[in-house]
Amino acid sequence: MSDRQTIRGAAAALRDGSATSVGLTRAALKTASMTESQVHAYLTLDTEGALEAAERADSQLAAGDDRGPLHGIPIALKDNMVTEGIETTCSSRILSGYVPPYSATVVDRLEEGGAVITGKTNLDEFAMGSSTEHSAFGPTRNPWDTERVPGGSSGGSAVTVAIGSALGALGSDTGGSVRQPAALTGVVGMKPTYGLVSRYGLIPFASSLDQIGPFTRTVADAVDVLATIAGHDPHDATSIPGALPDLGAGLGRGLEGVKVGVVSEMQRDETEPAVRANVAGIIEQMEASGAKVQEVSLPSFEYALSAYYLIAPAEASANLARFDGVRYGNRVNGANVAEMMSKTRADGFGAEVIRRILLGTYALSAGHFDAFYGQALKVRSLVRRDLDAAYEQVDVLVGPTSPTTAFELGAKTADPLTMYLTDVFTIPANLSGHPAISVPVGLDDSGLPIGFQVMAPALGEEVMYRVAGEVERLAGFTARASLASSEVVAP
């Protein structure tokens, strides 16, 4: 992997004059033009806007106006983050043609930091899915094997980074939707502490779980993206006040004395042997590098998946009530208002979204609220309690990101429960609001990437990045997707 295929490497080239933002952006757009017919990572490629932003970034740098680590860097956005003047669909027919009048806070911060927005990426409709097959505009394919899924729901963003049609990307993580596709496509994907990144302008799926996070090729790059988009936002009532910590302060400090907990409940029988072997091998290397490794039991993890699939659909059923044919998006006419709303929603929403709305509405209904939603909230409290107790013993928790590598397109769509199980290792961090990151550590026998997850306590990004950086170094993972682009071009 060339230095210029990383954000930090490209940033250094911009500043020493050996590359330009226009050159970097043209290379990303060229890669997209060559590969989109095979992978369908983008829904909207903003070629004109990206090149204009790149020219502006070059002029600013030439004038000594350096906006930060992402200045001049091509970045892609998941299409559930609103962008002023650019269509935002959430991969749903119900929002087809919707052009927002404002941009999400994270978009504003990227642009203020000089980043170049290349376009909007494909996702599972309204971020509900784990394979990016549930999109009204067709599935995204994994560049390692285009007959396989890239994970989801942020599969499009993951693929742009894996293939080189962007140097970084943003996704949203509600139950693992950044980390799981990162694992399946061989990139770094990170979910921050809940509230560390503003959700203003993120079209919600489940408001108490949603969090925006970065996709990058290295852990250090993930630090730089998070540092650009994080921080208090008065537009978001859940935003954490106060100054940001030095997120990357632990990079390069090694593992000596770091207490690492191996979660026994994440050592499941259905986890593929190659995943188990790679994760175990990295843990052995961590211990040999000075980490203090111990097994940790988190009994509530057994129930986290079930709790999530009650809480998230319940919140979705409320959030998606706004898409009624009156205020946003498409409308299908009917004889009266009730018929118009019913037809609009039936025509506009896909099968998976309808399934989750129905599940959530049922869980919240009279006579079922306490038995389902109320019990799920109690499990959520148990997950937090178990994690808080674990972090009194260890600094971080580790295990697989996903129990499997990328599976074939269509393999799990007929069995929702099997699909939901792909999130079994990522969901606890969403229920607790804690940060977590997936780092690629190897390939299985079919040449497909394997992800290693590092979890940390709330606002523990510094130690999480420290450990993740060492995992990256120990793994030495440098393989790239078979469809990945050639070297980024010089000016």
- Nearest C-alpha neighbor of 307 from the set 215, 399, 428: 428
* Neighbour count for residue 272 (Cβ, 10 Å): 17
Q: For the chain of 491 residues, list the mean pLDDT of each consecutive stretch of 10.
A: 83 97 98 97 98 98 98 98 98 95 98 98 98 98 97 98 98 98 98 98 98 98 98 97 93 97 92 97 98 97 96 96 84 88 89 95 87 95 98 98 97 92 97 98 97 98 98 90 48 31
**The predicted structure's pLDDT at residue 1:** 58
- Residue 303 to residue 380: CA distance in whole angstroms: 9
Catalytic residue among 21, 135, 157, 177: 177
Token pair belonging to 472:
């990256």
The answer to whether the beta carbons of residues 245 and 223 sit under 8 Å apart is no
Mean per-residue pLDDT of the chain = 95
In this structure, the strands spanning 116-121 and 74-78 are parallel
Reported as half-sphere exposure (CB side, CA atoms, 13 A), residue 223 has a value of 22
**The predicted structure's pLDDT at residue 376:** 96
Distance (Å) of CA 298 to CA 136, 295, 366, 390, 391: 38, 10, 32, 8, 11
User: Catalytic residue at 259?
Assistant: no
Spans of all domains in the chain: 3-250+467-475
Reported as half-sphere exposure (CB side, CA atoms, 13 A), residue 413 has a value of 17
SS3 annotation, the chain: CCHHHCHHHHHHHHHHCCCCHHHHHHHHHHHHHHHHHHHCCEEEECHHHHHHHHHHHHHHHHCCCCCCCCCCCEEEEECCECECCECCCCCCHHHCCCCCCCCCHHHHHHHHCCCEEEEEECCCHHHCCCCCCCCCCCCCCECCECCECCCCCCHHHHHHHHHCCCCEEEEECCCCCCHHHHHHHCCEEEECCCCCECCCCECCCCCCCCCEEEEECCHHHHHHHHHHHECCCCCCCCCCCCCCCCCCCCCCCCCCCCEEEEEHHHCCCCCCHHHHHHHHHHHHHHHHCCCEEEEECCCCHHHHHHHHHHHHHHHHHHHHHHCCCCCCCCCCCCCCHHHHHHHHHHHHCCHHHHHHHHHHHHHHCCCCCHHHHHHHHHHHHHHHHHHHHHCCCCCEEEEECCCCCCCECCCCCCCHHHHHHHHCCCHHHHHHCCCEEEEEEEECCCCCEEEEEEECCCCCHHHHHHHHHHHHHHHCCCCCCCCCCCCCCCC
Distance from chain centroid for Cα 389: 27
Catalytic residue among 92, 131, 153, 239: 153
**The predicted structure's pLDDT at residue 405:** 98
Q: What is the value of pTM for the model shown? A: 0.96
Burial class (CB in 10 A: 0-12, 13-18, 19+), 419: buried
Catalytic residue among 21, 78, 135, 154: 78
**The predicted structure's pLDDT at residue 490:** 31
User: Catalytic residue at 292?
Assistant: no
**The predicted structure's pLDDT at residue 484:** 54
- Nearest C-alpha neighbor of 166 from the set 121, 105, 126, 100: 121
Whether the upstream peptide bond of residue 239 has omega within 30° of 0, thus cis, is no
- Residue 443 to residue 449: CA distance in whole angstroms: 4
- Nearest C-alpha neighbor of 346 from the set 137, 135, 92: 92
Q: Which residue's structure tokens are 């607790």?
A: 432
Token pair belonging to 23:
């050159």
pLDDT in tens, 405-423: 999 999 999 998 899 999 9
User: Catalytic residue at 177?
Assistant: yes
Rg, C-alpha atoms of the chain:
21
CATH of domain 3-250+467-475: 3.90.1300.10
- Residue 36 to residue 405: CA distance in whole angstroms: 22
